[in-house]
Structure 1
Amino acid sequence: MAPQNRTVRFKLYSLLSLPIVALIVLWIFITGHIVGDYFDLRRAVTLFDQVATPAGIVANHVQQERQLSAVFLSGNSPDGGRLSAAREETDRAVVLFHQRATSLEAQSATGPDVVQSLSELERELERLQVIREDVDARATNRLQVVLEYTEIQESLYQMYDQLVTVPDLALYRKGAGLQTVVMSRELLSQEDALLSGAILQGTLNADEQRAFAQMVAGRRLLLTRGLQSLDTELRKPYDELLASADYKRFTTMENQVVSRGGRPEQAAAWQPLADQLGSRVDQLVASRAELLNDRTDAKASGIIAQILIAGGLGLVAILLAVMLSARLGRGLTQELADLRSSALDLANVRLPRVVAKLRDSEAVDVESEAPPIPITGTTLEVQDVAQAFSTVRRTAVEAAVGQADLRKGVSLVFRNLARRNQSLLHRQLTQLDLMQRKTGAPDALADLFRLDHLTTRMRRQAEGLIILSGAPAGRAWRKPVPMHDVVRGAVAEVEDYTRVTVLPMSDASLAGSAVADVIHMLAELVENATVFSPPSTRVNVRGEVVGRGFVVEIEDRGLGMTDDDRTEINRRLANPPEFDLADSDRLGLFVVSQLADRHAVKITLRRSPYGGTTAVVLLPHTLIIPTDQDSEDPTPDPLTPHPFHTTPTNPDEIRGGPRPGA
């Protein structure tokens, strides 16, 4: 009998059998899943007792040893045995950790991922002796030893991540949040180690200053994220700590170090205050971990009752399904048809319409765009699915609106921060220019030149953030600028500019409105050519007038790239993608594509005859000014510093000749 000739009775029996079989399978699956959850919770408790607790002791002792090692390297006298005692305590903690982690009870609860993390941690702990020998011989510096101890801590916290195996989502989030708080405590310890040594020595160097600022920012970010995942009971003592006068005084000292680059005003109070806060955080972490572990244990005990309830109710549900399926089967088809129509409307009409509005920067009303799906049937499952679709639709619309608002907010943040930095850098460039004019000492002039060049590159990075936000860079020229000067201005903003050779080019000028963007765009391309080619090779830049405008070729002699990579990059340059915050590895490419799209510039990458890559930049006629209309004084806007004051004064200097003051 063909499928189209099946009787209603046959289809009805088929309809009855499918949900019953599915219900039986679902009952078996849920019961098995609950049993699995019970064993997973017991495993999580075992891992906490046998691995996490002794590992936390190791972390505390490594933090103490790191702090004492940094202090030892900052002075010239012995530490009175404190460092030796700390090392002995660390060794005992490592031995205890090894014994507990390799016990039969621990091995019964560890999976392949945990075993691999334990092995990596053991290898990192073996490096302690080498680090200690370098410290004793004073063969390392304060920042380096802090970073080496931190590598051990990172392996330990990576192992912690593998230990959070609680199947209950709420418990898992709280465990992960508490782990994030622990990581913020580790950054507090790094701050303490670095600054304690700096206080003893009297100052922080530039690398230590940057590292300390990163530690402070990371600690505060991790602490905030971790506390957001905790409930009121778990978070309350942390909130009290953050509201305390000691913590506010501590953050004030951090801000002083970050902003001033030296010791805090009350340097003597740093060590006891940091120790006190660190101890309080350790106590809170221990108490919160015990509380969370108790909850996990209680959850495991409650699952036993759930197994009995789920098993009994599952059997009853199967019997009820047999009786109710016949009654509900007739209306089920119509209800599913209505649900299908609503789902298709969501997928094919409403969501594409919302996305199109957001792409066009139009306002979207969530209530009108995501109304509840109307269902007239009485089947609970269908109603649940309809409600789920309604929730999904509303969540999708809210997420799309939120992402659009987030992108706007991020763009504003980029723009505001970059504008502030740009203003400061402009003032700094002006001051450096005045200092260069006032000094005649060759050595001082060379130093000022290098600082001036570094500041110019910093300004380019700030302009990159402004471009990412969709705003113009900020610099502007009223009159045309010769293309040769534009290219030299771009080369001046490149770190390894001495490897760049600017070949003679055709006489032509660039419209003042596009000078800043073209300089930035060419600087990014030249920078890329110097970075991805051997240091011993040259990067050649040439330009000439062509039939469709003015072309600039940037040729390196590196290893080049694959055809697929070059094709993909050319596609992105021709059709700039929407900026993705997660794609931070290609910010330069995105900036170049945005600038090229803004001025209708065509950029193409091709293989160079030397095996490297040649970037071909075609500036359209609309940007090129004939020679007889060129301004002899390409002066920028009076509110904007001149970009060429950092460029060497003759072509030989760009090709690697002597720098000013050399």
Structure 2
Amino acid sequence: MGRKPRSIRSKIILVLLVPVVALTALWVLDVHASFADAAALRDTDHTQDNVSQPCDKMVAALQAERSLSVEVLAVAAGDVGALRTQRAATDAAVAEFRDLSRRYRGSGISGDITRSRIADMLAARDSLTLLRTQVDAGSITRAVAVSGYNGIIGSAFSVSTAAAVSSDPLVERVMRTSVAMRRAGELLHQEDALLTGVTAAGRFDAGERRQLSEIVGALRFQIPVAGSTLPAPDQAAFKSMLSGPNFVALRTAEDRIIRDEGLGGPVATTRAEWKATFIPAVRQLYDFLANGYGKAAEFADAERDRILTRFGVSGLLGLIAILASLVLSIRVGGSVVRRLSVLRTAANELAHRRLPEMVMRVRAGEQIDTDRDPLRLSLGDDEIADVGAALSEVQQSAIDSAAGEAALRYDMNKALVNIARRNQTLVDRQLQALARTPAGDATAERATARAEQLAVQMRRHAEHLVILAGSARSRRGFGPEPLARVITRAAGEVEHAERIELGPLTDAEVPEPAVTDLGHLLAELLENGTTFSPPDTPVRVSAQRVPDGVTIEIEDQGLGMSRSVLDETNRRLAEPQEFDPAKSARLGLFVVGFLAAQWGIGVVLRPSPRRGVIATVTLPSELAVPVAAPVTAPGGGARRSNAAKLVGMVAQGRRGTAEQSAVPRHAAGDSQDR
């Protein structure tokens, strides 16, 4: 099943709609991206409040617990009460982190990573419980305790690092710098935890000096690197802080402690001295970091405002462009579609109504003034208007061609009528001359009768030209005639009239105007019957009355016609077309159809039971007026000779017998040539 073709309207709408849809799609994508960026920046504050800051608070609690745990491991009489208080604070910080982190609403890959890191951090509580049990039992060394807390705090920092992702590069840079510096601060707290235990015990255990050296080396490397990503003004302040007295004193104390090589001997500093050096430095560092998240939030707010401003401008301009494109597309497309619809309507009207009517009027002889009745189309001044103008030219060309054809047809018809009139005049003169031939010689009389019969046929064939030309026939009777006389006269005009057998003929009268044309019609059908049947077979004619008039049947025993040819012939007889000179071989049937249509006579061919064809001629009641006495055909074996005598009587009143033809002219093939 084929797909229904699209109309020009749908194609134009599609062509105009595609750019508008594409522009709308791009605008929607830009709006979505702008809103997504603004929403992501808005979520920066949300992430800080629910992830970053609670995580930092939890890290600070773990760092304080780590120092107190190491101090308890270093001195048997350590402050256990302070440790328990700090553990409660740590648990509160972990619980707060757990509750707030559930509100985290980050999306995408970074959001999934952050949630995974949060889950890892909360799962580390089991290791924290185990670590506390070991500290309380004194079953681990200070170095192992420090490493255990370092791992838990590292999980917390992985959460901060994952949560530092932002859609704005500047915001993400500030967040990551803040996390990196807090990691450097974690190294300070690791150093404090280690030295708290050492100063409390008064000596280094195995591995603690090396661990201290590693922490100090990492600290001196990571703190400057972490500050290198700060903005220029903040970076200068950061460098000034590192070169200030607090960090100089810290580095001096670290160097002095590391240079003490006596393993197991006294430490080069006391706990009070170390705390006096450590606390100012770490406070100064965290004071510097205190506004890090605030700056990130400020940057995020500024970027969000910039995005919203850009969206307000570009989104509004984009919406205006879409609306303008839509309005322009509707106006242009509607104009083109309307004008094409007008053009299509005009073309259909021209092809199916206007032009055929004008051509018929021209062929009927009417003068058409196309200037007074032009094809008016208001289509503008573009290519569509050019097509409309071409339609007007087509109309004018068709009218001119039809007028030329009509003039040529009129001249040809005049020539045909002139030739036919001349032939009819000569034939009539020949018949008059034959009628004056003296009687006496039987052979001469037969020759004269034969010549008269041929002359009558010649006159009938000459009338074909008059009929084709549509002119009035010149022969007229002297009033209405009986149907039997019309049939017998038509039989007398056939070459092999002696083969025609007259059956029962109903009594009817044919009006004077139809006498000649009806006789012509019947003569053509009778001649077909004798021509296309064997010479030794009769052609039977009968007429009987029916409710709507009189039916005349002409039956031959000839070659017959195939069903397809019979149907085609009946169609041509029922609906005669204009005469086509290329089909002049079937001139007789065209004349029959033309006369039948002119007088409302029905002519139908059907197969005969005797292998031939039966032509049924149905005369309407106005062409077959009933009269008193019916006429019947002679019966018995004398039917054929009586018909021949009747033909002779009809031939201009001369008596005689028709000459027997040796071999009648008929076709040996298909009767399609009738």
Give the TM-score, by structure 1 length: 0.43
Give the TM-score, by structure 2 length: 0.43
Larger radius of gyration: 2
